[in-house]
Amino acid sequence: MNRRILQILWCICLVFSSHAYAQDNLSALIPMPNKVATSSKAPLVLQGDKVACYIQVDSLQFELKTVASLFQKRFGLKVEQTQTSADAQIRLLIDKSLKKNDHYKLSVNNKRLEIKGASAAAVFYGLMTLDQVLAGDVCATKQQAISAIEINDCPRFGYRALMLDPARNFLPVNELKFYIDQMVKYKFNVLQLHLSDDQGWSIWIETYPKLAGNRFYTKQDIQELVEYAEQRHVQVVPEIDVPGHTVSLLAKYPDMACIHQREAEKIIGKTGHMMLCAGNEEVYVMMDDIIREVAGMFKSPLMHLGGDEADIPKNWAKCDLCRLLMKKKNYTEPVQLMIPFFENILASVRKYGKKPILWFELNNEYPPADDYLFPYPKDVVLVSWRGGMTPTGLDLSAERGHNVIMAPGEYCYYDYPQYKGDLPEYNNWGMPMTTLERAYRLDPGYGRPLSKQQHIWGVMGALWGEAIIDINRATYMSFPRAFALAEAGWTQMENRSWESFKKRVLPNVNELMKAGVSIRVPFEIAR
C-alpha cells in the first residue's frame, strides 16, 4: 500500500475517530489495565525543554531510551538521565515486592511520574501504557502536562504471542523488526516463526544446505533478530513443522519420504500431503542435526515441532518401512507411529536444551472428538487451534496435565478475512470471516472455573502466509484484530467490555497509521 493511500485512509480515520471517542487518559488504553484510578488532582506539568529521569539499575538503559523517545514524540522534550532520585521528574524502578514478572505500577502526581516494575519487561510495559495515556489525553499533552493517574497492573496470562509464516512468503529481518515494534505496543511478548512448510524452507541449515530456497535467514540474521526482540522483551520461538508439511524438505532429500513416495513428483508450492517416514532411522539423524542447529540460533527455551495435519493414510499406512515398525511395536493403527516418531524428535529437542511445543490434535478433525490423537509426552506444551475443538481440548489437557496455548482458529487466525469482501483476495479453502468483534469475544478460559484454567499458558494469533506478500499485508491482516487478542491475553474478563474496547480501538488505529503501519480501518464499529 503506497504512502498516498495511507495518508487518505488516515484522514478518513481521523474524521471517524474525532466523533467516536472521548479524549482522556483512558481512551487509548489497549489492553485495558486491570486496576486504574483516575484523579482530578493537579497534573504533572513539564517545564523547560528537558526532563530528568532516574533509573534505579543499569538493566533499565533500554527503558531510558524508550521514555526519551516517547517524550520527544509526545512533548518535543529531551530526557536526560540523573543519578539522583530526588531530582527526577521521571523515575523508573525495579520493585521486587511485585511478585509476577510483568507486574508494574504507574503513578503520576504533580511532582513526578514513577513506574515500578517487577522486571525490566514490566517497566517497559508500564511505558507502553504511559504512551497510550498520553495518546488519549491530548488536551493535557498539548499543554505539556500529564494528568494524575494510578495504575496497578499485571497480565492475566504470561504468554502473549503472534505468529508469522515466512516459510510460505518470506519476510526479511527488517520487516520482522518492524512487526515486533508494533507488537510490543500492545504487550505481546512472543513472536513465533513458522520456518518450514510444503511451500518453503526459510532458514539456513549448514548440515543440509539444499534445504533453503532463494530467500532464507542466515545464522547472522537470526542473531540480529533475536537480539532486537530480546531488547524489547520479546522471545522468538522457532517452528520446524514435522512430520507433515514437509514437501520443501522431501523435494531436496526424497529418501526421507515413505518408500512409495520417494519417486513421486514433489513440486514446492504445489505438492502436498507428504510426510517424513516414521520407519526410516535416517530421518531422525537428519532431524537431530536440524534441531541442533536451530536450537543453537534461538535464545528462547521453547521450540515448536508442528505435529499437525499429518496425512497418515496416504503415507505411513502404505509404507513398508512404517508397517515393519508397526509390527515391531505391536501397533494396530498407523496413527500410533506418532508415538515413536515424536519420542525421537522430542528427545533431540530436550537434548539441545529446549522445551517442546506441538499443535494440539484430537482423534477427529471435526466435532465430535473425545481423545488426543496420540498420547502426548507430559512436557509438551499444546497449541489449541482447530475451529470448534478447543473446549474439548481444554478439558482434556486439564485432566491430563498438559499446558496449553490458546489459538482457536475461529478467533485467532488472522489470515481469515476481517469483513465481507475484504482481503485476502483469494479463498484457498473456504475461509470463514473473523471480524474484529468476533476476535474480541474470545475468552481464553472458555468460562471454565479458575481451577480448570491453571494450565493455560496464554494466547497466540496466527497469520498463515499464503497471501501475506509483504509486511504491509501482515500488519493489515493482524491489526486491529491483534488489539482484541492483546486484551484477551492481558485483561481479566471482569475488566473487559466490547463497548469500551471499540471506542479505544480508533485512537490506536490513528497511532499506528501515523507510524506508517498498514492497518485495516474498522469502519463498521464507528457507525
Q: Provide, for the chain, the percentages of residues in helix, strand and coil under a 3-state DSSP scheme, each rounded to the nearest 5.
A: 40, 15, 40
Task: Decide: 480 and 436 in contact? Cβ < 8 Å.
Answer: yes
| CA–CA distance, 79 with 48 (Å, rounded to integer) | 11
List the alpha helices (DSSP H) in 243-310.
247-250, 281-297
Task: Decide: 393 and 365 in contact? Cβ < 8 Å.
Answer: no
Three-class HEC string of 492-505: CHHHCCHHHHHHHH
Could you tell me the CA-to-CA distances from 142 to 40, 67, 212 in Å, in that order?
A: 18, 18, 52
Catalytic position from the list 150, 224, 309, 410: 309
CB-based contacts of 87: which residues, under 8 Å, 6+ apart?
52, 54
Q: Could you confirm whether 309 is annotated as catalytic?
A: yes
Residue 470 C-alpha cell reads as: 509483504
State the pairing for strand pair 196-197/200-201: antiparallel
Task: Decide: 108 and 43 in contact? Cβ < 8 Å.
Answer: yes
* Per-position DSSP letters for 78-147, written without gaps between them: EEEE-S-GGG-SEEEEE-TT--STT-EEEEE-SS-EEEEESSHHHHHHHHHHHHHHHHH-HHHHHTTEE-
Residues labelled as active-site residues: 309
